[in-house]
Amino acid sequence: MTELLFRDDAYLKSATARVLDVQDGVVTLDRTIFYPLGGGQPGDTGFIIRDNGERVAVTDTRKGAGPGTVAHHLAAGATSPEVGEAVGLEIDWDRRYALMRLHTALHVMSCVVIAPVTGGNIAPDKARLDFDVDIALLDAERIAGGTNELITRAVATETVWITDAELDARPELVKTMSVQPPRGAGRIRLLRIPDIDLQPCGGTHVANIAEIGGIQVLRIRNEGKRNKRVEISLKG
Ligand SMILES: [Zn+2]
């Protein structure tokens, strides 16, 4: 198991850990601040710092093969740390923080466009949600204006845990049809933006929606019968 430090504190930029396993340039640690690809949010990049000071680049982070593990993918040809070694961790914070702001912005936008969400993706420079809705109902100015108005409320985000049974009793919480929340662990993590949004999400978010600053709609496009895509970026 890898302890997921970003779950309790998404603002950790560095930490220490111990190497549990190394296989073909993939490192497993006992704890990590690196978010693994999932829920439309890409995996973190950064460095593993060896006890001799050598900085080894992590080019991608994925869910590991073992249950509850995280796979840190090293740059091709990099020297791997050794099993048992105490290492330092450092994520590319500018990239991650942009992802956190855009990710949280999508939560807010999903409360402005009232329609089932059929997909979504986040990159450091832009993010998108796909909706099952008549494209004529999607107006760029109204979406940006409505989202930015909610952002000015500057409310703190909260993490809430509920049981599988509680989620079953409230199916309306699951807005994203393409990404069902992970089951079986007995409890499910929700992101709550008070009076705005509440939905299952395992990603990393900003502590206060004011940190998003504001968004702009880059484009609205037809990507299929049930996929009307709204692409956004951070403003300024
Ligand atoms: Zn989220």
Q: How do residues 9-42 score in pLDDT, each as one tens digit?
A: 999 999 999 999 999 999 999 999 999 999 899 9
Residue 217 CA to ligand 1 centre (angstroms): 19
Residue 57 CA to ligand 1 centre (angstroms): 26
Residue 191 CA to ligand 1 centre (angstroms): 6
Residue 159 CA to ligand 1 centre (angstroms): 10
DSSP-assigned beta bridge partners for residue 129: 120, 230
List % helix, strand, coil for the chain (3-state, nearest 5): 20, 40, 40
At residue 67, the pLDDT reads 85
Mean per-residue pLDDT, 125-153:
97
Residue 200 CA to ligand 1 centre (angstroms): 7
DSSP state of 30: S
Residue 50 CA to ligand 1 centre (angstroms): 32
The beta strands (E) that lie in 12-109 are given as: 14-23, 26-29, 31-32, 46-49, 55-63, 70-74, 86-91
Average pLDDT of the chain is 94
The residue that leads in pLDDT, 165 or 101, is 101
Mark residue 39 as left, alpha or beta (left: phi above 0; alpha: psi -120 to 50; beta: remaining).
left
Give percent of the chain above pLDDT 90.
Answer: 83
Residue 145 CA to ligand 1 centre (angstroms): 21
Mean per-residue pLDDT, 118-129:
96
Q: What is the three-class DSSP state of 112?
A: coil
Residue 186 CA to ligand 1 centre (angstroms): 19
Question: Residue 178 pLDDT more than 60?
Answer: no
At residue 43, the pLDDT reads 98
Residue 86 CA to ligand 1 centre (angstroms): 31
Residue 69 CA to ligand 1 centre (angstroms): 20
Report residue 222's pLDDT band, with 50, 70 and 90 as the boundaries: very high
At residue 183, the pLDDT reads 63
Name the token pair of 103.
């990710």
Residue 103 CA to ligand 1 centre (angstroms): 6
Residue 203 CA to ligand 1 centre (angstroms): 5
Q: What is the three-class DSSP state of 200?
A: strand
Residue 7 CA to ligand 1 centre (angstroms): 12
Name the token pair of 46.
């950064």
Residue 76 CA to ligand 1 centre (angstroms): 31
Residue 182 CA to ligand 1 centre (angstroms): 13
Model pLDDT for residues 35-90, shown as the tens digit of each residue: 999 989 999 999 999 999 999 999 999 999 988 899 999 999 999 999 999 999 99
The beta strands (E) that lie in 66-214 are given as: 70-74, 86-91, 117-122, 127-131, 158-163, 187-193, 197-200
